[in-house]
Amino acid sequence: MASINQTASCSSFSEDPLCFQSTPYPFYFTRNPSLLGGISDHTLTLAAPVICYWALSLFFHYLDMSGWKWLDKYRLHESAEVKSRNLVTRTQVVAAVILQQVIQTALAAFWISADESQTVNHAPELRRIAFTMQPVLFQVLGEHQAEALLPHMAYFVYWWGIPTFQFFAAMFIIDTWQYFLHRAMHVNKFLYKQFHSWHHRLYVPYAFGSLYNHPVEGFVLDSLGAAIAEWATGMTTRQAMLLFSFSTLKTVDDHCGYNLPFDPLQLITGNNADYHDIHHQVIGIKSNFAQPFFVHWDALLGTRMTREDIARRRQKHGKAS
């Protein structure tokens, strides 16, 4: 059986299919030192979540102010409810959100280090992956097929498989961190009264109030959880930028107040604006703790509530009375 010498040198992929010295980069990769000229990736990673937050929030605020009647069937609550049922003013919400974003950005500035992954020689790592995969592929596919597929599979694992795994692993860590801390803040009366009750002053959520939290909760639940997920998965600066931006967009969308069938962020998972809105109502305040991506912890631990569950409860109580 042929074997791969991890330390062997080579001049080109055409001479040695396991050389990996001149393989093409995937479309998402660039060797430029920064994604935007004149702005370092580190600075862009700090700015991106803030920009995403206010850009999407202002979009939904525009919808709120538009007066378009066709939107009414997608609203989770009538516009008047925002003023009549919420216990905090929009000015207070904006001030609290800005404070949290200042703390969040300061943490990220300390946490995210300068990244030079775009200038790294990726060939040794590609070769190491191929060397690791070789015995299994030779056993399963046979030597001839394995030799033909090995460089392509190593390429796929390195440029697509590992980054995808890192991203979903980070999402799982954030979901886990937020579920159990969020649930604890509802179960423990002290934690709820001192910290989490701030967020529930918004009985009717709206987009730019999604990060309206007590500063301590905002730091521990949101900022620290995301930082731990980024660290645990070994992300590059650009991966962290994508994770933080996506997480921010998802959080804003989950509080937007609309059940939009054409919203991609609401289509990818059952944890959406309608799902989280139930948690903000009296009937669902001890349910739907999962945030911001998936609902598996609610489903596994019996804290999931749907609109159908609410209808059945109300019907049951109606019959009982």
pLDDT in tens, 249-291: 999 999 999 999 889 999 889 999 999 999 998 888 999 999 9
Residue 75 CB burial class (10 angstroms; 0-12, 13-18, ≥19): middle
**Residue 18: inside a domain:** no
Average pLDDT in the chain: 87
What does the pLDDT read at residue 146? 79
**Residue 35: inside a domain:** no
What does the pLDDT read at residue 213? 94
Across residues 87-100, what is the average pLDDT? 92
Q: Residue 242 sits in which domain range?
A: 41-112+121-319
What does the pLDDT read at residue 22? 61
Confidence of residue 123 (pLDDT cuts 50, 70, 90): confident
What does the pLDDT read at residue 13? 43
> What percent of the chain is modeled with pLDDT above 70?
88
**Residue 279: inside a domain:** yes
Rg (CA), the chain: 24
pLDDT > 90? residue 171: yes
pLDDT > 90? residue 16: no
Across residues 105-115, what is the average pLDDT? 83
**Residue 32: inside a domain:** no
In the chain, at which residue ranges do the beta strands (DSSP E only) sit?
A: none
Tell me the torsion sign for CA atoms 187, 249, 164, 37. Answer: negative
- What is the reported pTM? 0.88
What does the pLDDT read at residue 2? 44
Confidence of residue 4 (pLDDT cuts 50, 70, 90): very low
What does the pLDDT read at residue 317? 66
Name the DSSP letter for residue 36: B
**Residue 137: inside a domain:** yes
**Residue 7: inside a domain:** no
Domain total in the chain:
1
Across residues 152-157, what is the average pLDDT? 91
pLDDT > 70? residue 243: yes
The 3-state DSSP class for residue 32 equals: coil
**Residue 232: inside a domain:** yes
Across residues 206-210, what is the average pLDDT? 91
Across residues 43-60, what is the average pLDDT? 95
- First-to-last alpha carbon distance for the chain, in angstroms, is 78
The answer to whether 60 and 273 are in contact (CB under 8 A) is: no
**Residue 293: inside a domain:** yes
Backbone angles phi, psi at 39, to 5 degrees: -120, 120
CB count, 10 Å around CB of 207?
25
Beta bridge partners of 39: 36
Q: Which residue has the higher pLDDT, 199 or 67?
A: 199
Give the angle 104-108-114 at the CA atoms, nearest 5°: 165
